Amino acid sequence: MMAHIFSFEWLHIRKSGAFWGTVIVLPLLIGFSLFLGSERINQQEETIAGIVAEETSFYDGMRTQLEAIERGDAEVDAWFQNPANPLVLGQFGQAGRHIFLQPKPLAPLAAGQLDILPYYGKVTLTTMEPLRDNALENPFMQVSGSFDFAFVLVWLVPLFIIVMGYNVISSERESGTYALLQSQPVSIRSILIQKMIFRFLLVFGIIILSLLVWSVLFGIDLFNIQGLQLIAAISLYAAFWFALCVLFNLFRTSSAVNAVGLTGLWVFFLLIIPSVISLIVTSLHPVPSRALWITEQRTIQQSVQAEGDAIFDTWVVDHPEEFVEGDTPQFYNTWIRRFVWAQATEEREREAERQFEEPRESQAQLASRLRVFSPPMTLQAWLEQKAGTDTDRLRSLENEMRAFQQEWQEFFLPRFQRLEFFTSDELADIPAPQ
Amino acid sequence: MIDIENLTKCFGNTVAVNNLKLNVAKGEIYCLLGANGAGKTTTINSLLNLVQLEGGSAKIGGMNVADEPLKTKEKLTYIPENLSLYPSLSGIENLRFFCGLSGIKLSDSKAVSYLKEAGLQVDSAHKRVGGYSKGMRQKVGIALAIARSSEVLLLDEPTSGLDPAASSDFATLLTDMKERGAAVLMATHDLFRAKETGTKIGIMNRGSLVDELNAADVTHSDLEKIYLNHMRA
Amino acid sequence: MNIYSIARNQLTQLVRDKVVASLGLLILLLLGVSIITGISYYSEMSEQHHQAEELARIQWEKQGDKNPHSAAHYGTFAFKPVTVLSVFEPGVDRYTGVSIFLEGHRQNFAAYSLAEDKDSSRRFAELTPAFIFAYLFPLFIILAGYRSITAEKESGMYRFLKSQGVSTGQLIAGKTFGLWAVILLIYIPFLLIGLIFLIITGAIVDSLAGFLFMGFVWLLYFGVVAHITITVSALAKSSGSSMVVLLSLWILSTLLVPRFITNVASGVHPVPNTSEFYQAVRTDLLEGIDGHNPYSEHSVAFRDSVLAAHGVDDVADLPFNFRGMMLQEGEEFEKRIYDHHFAKIDEIHRAQNRLFSISSFLSPTIAARMSSMAVAGTDMHAFNHFSAEAEAYRIELVRELNMDLKINAVGDRAAGYTAGADFFAQNIAFTYERPESVFVSSTQLMPLFISLLWFVASILILAVAARKKEEV
């Protein structure tokens, strides 16, 4: 029976404009989105490779220079040019390491929050600077959003499904074939379901096929467990919209009413619910203005500066073994203080940063709970998570940078504090992020 | 084959069919006459299990329609007043589709032979139904009945809107079906056709069967008089 | 007379149509909510903005005694203004940084955009009047109008009306006016609420022109949607196909073209990424005077030329502090380099915006959105205007500091020279003033022009549809 209905559905559908429209347009949209996605990843990888190469050449240069000095082939004029000095290796100029959130395999599929939050940053002994690739981007881009696969899937695919499914039974009713259908020894419901399953398989097939073909062309690897999960998610999402179409076709509503109703649901799930959720979370957990934060930061810096001597003295009392007293070079006296003050500033700033973190986290938590009301939002969040471009992951950059800074400080600070310079062999041990 | 016992159906406060009793045996053509709203279509719909009955029963081949909606539908072919088929498919394809729904797989040549039997030209059979006349579409309906060897044929005003030649063709087809042993129930306004083709004639008024005659027993003018008398009563 | 009665009939039908009426009410409700939350958000933000501005100035003045050039390094902040009209049209506001750090030697990017701190649900949709007008309102118009002519045909009314001597043109005109009436029924209350809000906040004087322009821009957009809706309804075979065509146009205009063109634009006119940009600036900076490095080639040459001009051999013999002079010289050089590179970025942005403008020939939504952002003062040009003002202030402040060093750090006071609170309190303060005119750049007129063009074109196709002879 199923095969019979399928074969006749095929007879019908291959004569419909909606179907050919879908067959032509959907693969093109998917292709274009994946092209942009793979371009984005290529660029990201290029940026990462470029920075890593620069970093490597800097430290290689330091090592060569230090070897030359050790051999007596070269000498340096000033302390800040000496590659054996922990400050030169860990703090100044090009010194320091970049931490990257490497693009995940599915990253080409969803740009997520990448246009707003940075995916890499630089760590030195005192600084942790997230670097935004796109600070110069035209902000109109961010307003309109990325044309990524997630957009095609979450926003556009439902519209194609609605076009394919809004009138499956209502059109039979309008054209009069319903009367004959009713008198057949098969229930209308089972015919409807089978027709919908056929259309579902068509749309699903078009999506999956074009996804796979374009992915192979653009070098996106989907032949793994992640790819399977993606396909499962796509089938669930498509099934959801087809189920809505089934629902509308069960009632005795006209095709026009079905079209309006289904589009209305689309607007509801994709525009109304998200805007209401965003309204609720920002009203319940308002994040204070960053304008004030900037001045607050400055107040903290000033307070540390004002208490500078006291802070340093306390530190010396607490850490006598980490401070060399007596006739030490000027740079030592300057920088040992700076490190102490930087730490104090950092601690106080982190405390103050909570006023942003807390509402931000509450917002995210509430939003993720409310998202269940909108399958499109749920899918979008899931895709971003799989792509590693969601807010959570991008925010984790800060923690990764902090963790690495700790490692970095543990390597350099004790040597600096004891004024023990490095030998060229030791340069190989300079920590690097995984 | 068709047994309607004490059938009652109301829509809100109006009684559409009232305590109707009607039987159609194999090889019989039962013509149901009556004004618009007399309950003819409701009677046919009850045989298709499209209405919920307030009382009585509708049986086809001894099976209660309400209990066995799909099984009883296997035995019947229904041709609505304005038989609509899929306009983008050919007559053959339409026939194959509807046969397939009752589990009968037809080859193209088989479908053509059934359509031919129903009086459709072979070259028309290959054309899209979109260009068919009502008479041609009804022939596809009859071909469906032949192909499925339906024991019951339910017709709702099949001859309305047909030109006299097509109407006569259709009557011939019905007679053929009768001779094959089908039980035919036909709702119609066409007194002439009822007398000509029918074996039995029932007259309905306001939901009740008010008269039942043998077609052979009456002349055309008698039938008209009897009918009008009932309507004016 | 025919037109009037058709229009009135259409209006009555629409108002009585449960779906249309409830959607209209829903839109009014959403508009109301969006304005109320927008206002409270606005007042909170502007309050915090004022506080921050005051605090930043206090911090500047109370930074303690220090060398003026150290103060240049210490720097201060310029805060992006919070505009009243952003309640109606936030534009790119959420995506541009709220403040620019102003310091000697370099031009910084604005930092901390609101988007960074907000939940990402907002990227689907944000309840603001502009969002409602750009996306939901057209849907409402389509829904109210897609069957306006087709339904008359389907019910046979069309034939009847024609037999009564109503021409196609009159029918279309009447339907159009009827649809307009429904639009205004929702839009006028919104405009009144907006005006009342502007009066209450006292912003009416500064922002009335912008608000009226914005109201006008959206009205043009609604007109375009309404006219296209009626045209499609007049030409469509059935209500169903009219609906499908109109929805496809809606998707094209609001979703596909904007996303498509912005992503294409960044491919066709790519902006360098941040590190490339700084790399280029650094390379160019090496070519000039480094105010901090007296031994660089350029610095030595400059020093020698100054010494020669004053006929002395040692900088100590100059009648002013040479370091102050050199810092200022370096600053001006650095500014030229930065300006040059930022101008290049600006050129790229302009090229991108030109593409957006061109694409708005396909999407009236882009034209309307860009114009409304322009008149609300929340587009990129407005932001650039603020950045330029901040930069002008920065260079003037740094000049004051360097001049103080140059003039006052002489003789005995040269060694360990510091300026105090008195001096810092006298330094110019930054108060950003939006330009008087609604438009800050002539390129902003382009989308407005295209909006007008769309409006005229939509009337023309309506006229063509009205003249089309057809069998009934």
The string of pLDDT tens digits covering residues A110-129 is 999 998 899 999 999 999 98
Distance CA C171, CA C154 (A): 15
Query: pLDDT, tens digit, for every residue of A201-230?
Result: 999 999 999 999 999 999 998 999 999 999
Average pLDDT over residues C304-320: 85
Q: Taking CB atoms and an 8 Å cutoff, what residues of chain A touch B98?
A: 180, 184
- The answer to whether B100 contacts A177, with C-beta atoms less than 8 Å apart, is no
Query: pLDDT, tens digit, for every residue of B85-102?
Result: 998 899 999 999 999 988
Task: Assess if residue C472 is contained within a domain.
Answer: no
C-beta of residue C52 within 8 angstroms of C-beta of residue A292:
yes
Look at phi and psi of residue B149 and say left if phi exceeds 0, alpha if psi is from -120 to 50, else beta.
Answer: left
Task: Assess if residue A360 is contained within a domain.
Answer: no
- The answer to whether A183 contacts B74, with C-beta atoms less than 8 Å apart, is no
Single-letter amino acid code for the residue at A189: R
B76-79/C76-79 β-pairing? unpaired
Single-letter amino acid code for the residue at A254: S
Query: pLDDT, tens digit, for every residue of B92-149?
Result: 999 999 999 888 888 999 999 999 988 888 899 999 998 998 889 988 998 999 998 8
Q: How confident is the model at residue B113, as a pLDDT? A: 92
Distance CA B47, CA A125 (A): 88
Q: Assess B103–A contact: CB distance below 8 Å, yes or no.
A: yes
pLDDT averaged over chain A?
91
* ipTM of model: 0.87
Tokens of A21: 């429209």
C6 to each of C10, C225, C227, how far by Cα in Å?
6, 20, 16
Instruction: For residue B69, give every residue at least 6 positions away whose Cβ sits within 8 Å of its Cβ, in sequence order, or none.
Output: A187, B49
Q: For residue C242, give how far its alpha carbon lies from the nearest alpha carbon of chain A (Å).
A: 10
CATH architecture of B2-88+133-232: 3-Layer(aba) Sandwich (3.40)
Q: What is the CA radius of gyration of chain A?
A: 30
Give the range of the structural domain holding residue A254, as residue numbers without chain letter. 2-19+147-282
Q: Assess B108–A contact: CB distance below 8 Å, yes or no.
A: no
Number of A to B CB contacts under 8 A, please give it: 70
Q: List, as own/partner pairs, every contact residues A260-266 make where C-beta atoms lie below 8 angstroms and the sequence separation is at least 24, other chains included.
A: A260/C19, A260/C143, A260/C243, A262/A162, A262/A166, A263/A159, A263/A162, A263/C139, A263/C247, A266/A158, A266/A159, A266/A162
Tokens of C83: 């505009």
Question: How many separate domains does chain C show?
Answer: 1
DSSP readout, C193-252? HHHHHHHHHT-HHHHHHHHHHHHHHHHHHHHHHHHHHHHHHHH-SSHHHHHHHHHHHHHI
| Residue in this structure with the two tokens 């502090």, named with its chain if needed | C321
Torsion of CA C19, C25, C27, C30, to 10 degrees: -130
Burial code (b: 16+ CB inside 10 Å, e: under 16) for A403-412 equals ebbeebbebb
Tokens of C156: 């046979």
Distance CA B17, CA B208 (A): 6
Q: Assess B13–A contact: CB distance below 8 Å, yes or no.
A: no
Task: Assess if residue A271 is contained within a domain.
Answer: yes
Query: pLDDT, tens digit, for every residue of A20-41?
Result: 988 999 999 999 999 999 999 9
What's the DSSP call for residue A401?
H
- The answer to whether B70 contacts A185, with C-beta atoms less than 8 Å apart, is yes
Q: How many CB atoms lie within 10 A of CB C238?
A: 16
Q: How confident is the model at residue C469, as a pLDDT? A: 57
| Residue in this structure with the two tokens 């290959």, named with its chain if needed | B126
Tokens of A59: 């430290």
Query: Are 3 or more Cβ–Cβ pairs between A and C shorter than 8 Å?
Result: yes
Strand residue runs (E) in B73-174? 76-79, 152-156
- The answer to whether A176 contacts B48, with C-beta atoms less than 8 Å apart, is no
State pTM to two decimals. 0.90
A9 to each of A2, A208, C124, C295, how far by Cα in Å?
10, 20, 35, 84
Where is pLDDT greater, at C288 or B194? Answer: B194
DSSP readout, C35-90? HHHHHHHHHHHHHHHHHHHHHHHHHHHTS-SB-HHHHHHH-EEEE----GGGGT--
Strand residue runs (E) in C235-337? none
Distance CA B68, CA B60 (A): 10
pLDDT band at C288 (very low <50, low <70, confident <90, very high): confident
Q: How confident is the model at residue A205, as a pLDDT? A: 96
pLDDT averaged over chain B?
89
Q: How many CB atoms lie within 10 A of CB A370?
A: 19
Of chain A, the percentage scoring pLDDT greater than 90 comes to 55
Query: pLDDT, tens digit, for every residue of A372-406?
Result: 999 999 999 999 999 999 999 999 999 999 999 99
Task: Assess if residue A194 is contained within a domain.
Answer: yes
Q: How confident is the model at residue C472, as a pLDDT? A: 45
Q: How confident is the model at residue C470, as a pLDDT? A: 57
DSSP readout, B25-47? -TT-EEEEEE-TTSSHHHHHHHH
Q: For residue A77, give how far its alpha carbon lies from the nearest alpha carbon of chain C (Å).
A: 14
Query: pLDDT, tens digit, for every residue of A306-360?
Result: 898 899 999 989 888 888 888 888 888 889 999 999 999 989 988 888 888 888 8
* Partner residue opposite A182 with nearest CB, options B50, B77, B85: B50
Query: pLDDT, tens digit, for every residue of C326-355?
Result: 889 888 889 999 999 999 999 999 899 889
Q: Is the dihedral of CA A136, A137, A138, A139 positive or negative?
A: negative
Q: How confident is the model at residue C163, as a pLDDT? A: 81
Q: Which of A140, A278, A360 to mutate to test the interface with C (most CBs of C within 10 A)?
A: A140
- The answer to whether A278 contacts C126, with C-beta atoms less than 8 Å apart, is yes
Q: Taking CB atoms and an 8 Å cutoff, what residues of chain C touch A133?
A: 273-275
Reply yes or no on whether the pLDDT at C228 is more than 80: yes
* Partner residue opposite B102 with nearest CB, options A15, A177, A184: A184
A113 to each of A107, A110, A360, B45, C379, how far by Cα in Å?
12, 9, 15, 59, 21
Average pLDDT over residues A414-426: 91
Q: For residue B214, give how far its alpha carbon lies from the nearest alpha carbon of chain A (Å).
A: 29
The ranges assigned to domains in chain B are 2-88+133-232
Question: How many separate domains does chain A show?
Answer: 1
DSSP readout, B37-99? TSSHHHHHHHHTT-S--SEEEEEETTEETTT-HHHHHHHEEEE-TT----TTSBHHHHHHHHH
Give the range of the structural domain holding residue C25, as residue numbers without chain letter. 2-467
Q: For residue A175, give how far its alpha carbon lies from the nearest alpha carbon of chain B (Å).
A: 7
Distance CA C98, CA A287 (A): 14
* Partner residue opposite A177 with nearest CB, options B70, B78, B86: B86
Query: pLDDT, tens digit, for every residue of A134-168?
Result: 788 888 888 888 899 999 999 999 999 998 898 88
Tokens of A298: 């400055």
Reply yes or no on whether the pLDDT at C297 is more than 80: no
Query: pLDDT, tens digit, for every residue of C87-142?
Result: 999 999 889 988 999 999 889 888 888 888 877 777 888 889 999 999 999 999 99
Tokens of B32: 């149901």
Average pLDDT over residues C430-454: 86
Tokens of A360: 């931000």
